[in-house]
Amino acid sequence: MSAALQLDHVVKHFPGPRRGTRVHAVNDVSFSVAQGETVALVGESGSGKTTLGRLALQLERVTTGRVLLQGRDITQLSQSSLRTLRPHMQMVFQDPWATLNPRMRIRSVLEEPLKLHSSLSAAERQSRIVGMADRVHLGGGLLDRFPAQLSGGQLQRVALARALMTQPRLVVLDEPTSSLDLSVRAEILELLSELRAQSQVSYLFITHDLGTVRLIADRIVVLYLGGIVESGPTAKIFDQPRHPYTRALFSAQLSTDVRARRERVILQGEIPSPVDLPRGCSFAGRCPAADDRCRNERPELVTESAVQIACFKPGVALATG
């Protein structure tokens, strides 16, 4: 069975702030999401993770490369052809308040995908809506309210429900819990975990929060400046991250365990500009272990026992502070 989603050497450039410059948002990224799998795209600002999520759904068009949905190349399709595919690939955005029409009742919000893409009768649609509301633990009384009357957590459930109405094969979630309170975040993660167990839907989970990744992702792809630096099964990467950036990222997480010894990998400086990509390894400027080779040569993505890593010195000892 072909992968739910496959990205093949995808490159995305945006016009830069000045004439003639380009923002290299995504640089030759390839990965796939198998049917029923949840993959987390992890990175900080400038990593290209949000752009990748949008490219996966063709909300942005690639500069070069291919995006395959269930084996079918969707990069060259027209907008109207894409529209017919929308029921199979959905997105949940970060800010629930901004992505729901404030003038539409929740019921209508959930009904819309069915109206657009199915030929169900009105009664059938209503019963589907009630069923879905139940699945996401949204009380029936909320269906007739407007978004302004719901809390952030409830709205995000609505967004999830809307995405799942057409039984898509792939759902992209762009930082779905970042704007939510801690306890609400936990609820949503719990819900996602339930939904994953119930069906073969594939999820592409974009986030900067490693804590949430641990809970629901099968595989994790770590991005830096538009390229993959490390990827592999979640357990393995969490257990033994080998790329210096991944390790810095992990060490920067603040745990609620007060007694945990923090051995932080100190990074110098800040992320370089995506307009002027550095020669060599994109991380060399900040890496505590970088040498001349790192600065001049670009490391290829190499696979070693289920883990992919782009580094000349994976697992090297790093100074901690």
Q: Between residues 262 and 293, which has the closer beta carbon with respect to another protein?
A: 262
103 binds another protein (CB under 8 A): yes
Rounded Cα–Cα distance for residues 19 and 275 (Å): 12
Q: What are phi and psi of 121, to 5 degrees?
A: -75, 165
Look up residue 129 and give its two tokens: 């809506």
267 binds another protein (CB under 8 A): yes
- Say which residues have a Cβ less than 8 Å from residue 21's Cβ, sequence separation at least 6: 15, 275
Q: Between residues 29 and 150, which has the closer beta carbon with respect to another protein?
A: 150
Q: Between residues 30 and 87, which has the closer beta carbon with respect to another protein?
A: 87
Q: Which of 116, 133, 115, 136 is nearest to 124 (CA)?
A: 115
Pick the binder of another protein from 64, 81, 151, 200 (CB under 8 A). 151
Segment interacting with another protein, rule: CB under 8 A, options 126-134, 148-156, 234-242, 304-312: 148-156
Find the shortest distance in angstroms from Cβ 69 to another protein: 14
Q: Are 29 and 66 in contact (CB under 8 A)?
A: no
Find the shortest distance in angstroms from Cβ 303 to another protein: 26
Amino acid at 237: I
3-state SS, one letter per residue, for 251-278: HHCCCCCCCCCCCCECCCCCCCCCCCCC
Count of residues of this chain found to bind another protein when the rule CB under 8 A is applied: 62
199 binds another protein (CB under 8 A): no
Q: Are 20 and 72 in contact (CB under 8 A)?
A: no
Q: Using CB under 8 A as the criterion, what x/- string covers residues 217-256 for binding another protein?
A: -------------------------------xx--xxxxx
Pick the binder of another protein from 187, 288, 295, 316 (CB under 8 A). 187
- What's the DSSP call for residue 51? H
Q: Between residues 1 and 257, which has the closer beta carbon with respect to another protein?
A: 257
* Length of the chain (residues): 321
Pick the binder of another protein from 162, 169, 242, 313 (CB under 8 A). 162
Among positions 278-317, residues that touch another protein (CB under 8 A) are: none
Which helix (H) or strand (E) covers residue 117, if one does? helix 106-117
Q: Using CB under 8 A as the criterion, what x/- string covers residues 111-140 for binding another protein?
A: -xx--xx-----------------------
Q: Which of 237, 202, 216 is nearest to 32 (CA)?
A: 202
Angle in degrees, CA 243, 249, 255, rounded to 5: 135
Among positions 50-89, residues that touch another protein (CB under 8 A) are: 57, 59, 83-84, 86-87
Q: Which of 46, 55, 133, 44 is nearest to 89 (CA)?
A: 55
Residue 10's DSSP bridge partners are 29
Pick the binder of another protein from 64, 76, 127, 149 (CB under 8 A). 149
Q: Between residues 20 and 102, which has the closer beta carbon with respect to another protein?
A: 102
Residue 47's CB is within 10 A of a number of other CB atoms, namely: 26
Q: Between residues 65 and 87, which has the closer beta carbon with respect to another protein?
A: 87
In terms of C-beta density within 10 A (0-12 exposed, 13-18 middle, 19 or more buried), how is residue 186 classed?
Answer: middle
Find the shortest distance in angstroms from Cβ 314 to another protein: 19
Per CB under 8 A, residues contacting another protein are: 44-45, 57, 59, 83-84, 86-87, 90-91, 93, 95, 98-104, 112-113, 116-117, 149, 151-153, 162, 181-187, 189-190, 193, 208-212, 214-216, 248-249, 252-259, 262, 264, 267, 269-271
